[in-house]
Structure 1
Amino acid sequence: MIYAYAKITVTNPEALAEYRDVANAALAKHGGKVEGAAREFTVLDGAPDMPNVAALLSFPDKDAAIAWSTDPELADVHALRRGAGASDIVLLG
């Protein structure tokens, strides 16, 4: 199991709503899922750039995570996320 941290600074809530409608199926295609998500945060240390939305994603392995991010059939799904605002996804491992 490998995890990814996703954060979005939302500028287009409508696009985010559309993304949420298809995100789980897109993740599941490569064995991924959302382990948890939040819109409220408490800083424990430092001064991070705070998003509006953050999620912890899991995948069976690194190859599955990369396949999800580069799958040409999911390009429209990733475009919806990017259209919702500034998004970053970091693989932890």
Structure 2
Amino acid sequence: MIYAYAKITVTNPEALVEYRDVASAALAKHGGKVESASREFTVLDGAPDLPNVCALLSFPDKSAAIAWSKDPELADVHALRRSAGASDILLLG
């Protein structure tokens, strides 16, 4: 199991709602899922640039996570997420 940290600074809430409707199926295609997501944060250390939404994603392995991010059939899903605002996804490991 490998995890990814995703954060979005939302500028288009309607696009985020549309993205949420298709995100789970897109993740599941490569064995991924959302482990946790939140709009509330507590800074434990430092002064991070806080997003509006963050999520912890899991995948069976690194290759599955990379396949999800590069899958041409999911290009529209990733574009929808990006249209919701600034997004970053970091693979941990």
Structure 2 counterpart of 1:18: 18
Per-residue deviation at 1:11? 0.1
- Letter in structure 1 aligned against 2:17: A
Structure 2 counterpart of 1:31: 31
SS at structure 2 position matched to 1:78? helix
Per-residue deviation at 1:85? 0.1
CA RMSD in angstroms, aligned pairs only: 0.2
Per-residue deviation at 1:30? 0.0
| In 1: Cα distance, 2:79 partner to 2:13 partner | 14
| In 1: Cα distance, 2:71 partner to 2:7 partner | 20
Q: Percent identity?
A: 89
1:81 maps to 2:78? no
| In 1: Cα distance, 2:44 partner to 2:65 partner | 28
Structure 2 counterpart of 1:56: 56
How many residue pairs were aligned?
Answer: 93
- Deviating beyond 2 angstroms after TM superposition, the runs of 4 or more aligned structure 1 residues are none
1:66 maps to 2:66? yes
Where do 5+ consecutive residues of structure 2 fail to align? Answer: none
TM-score, normalized by length of structure 1?
1.00
- Letter in structure 2 aligned against 1:45: D
Structure 2 counterpart of 1:41: 41
| In 2: Cα distance, 1:78 partner to 1:23 partner | 9
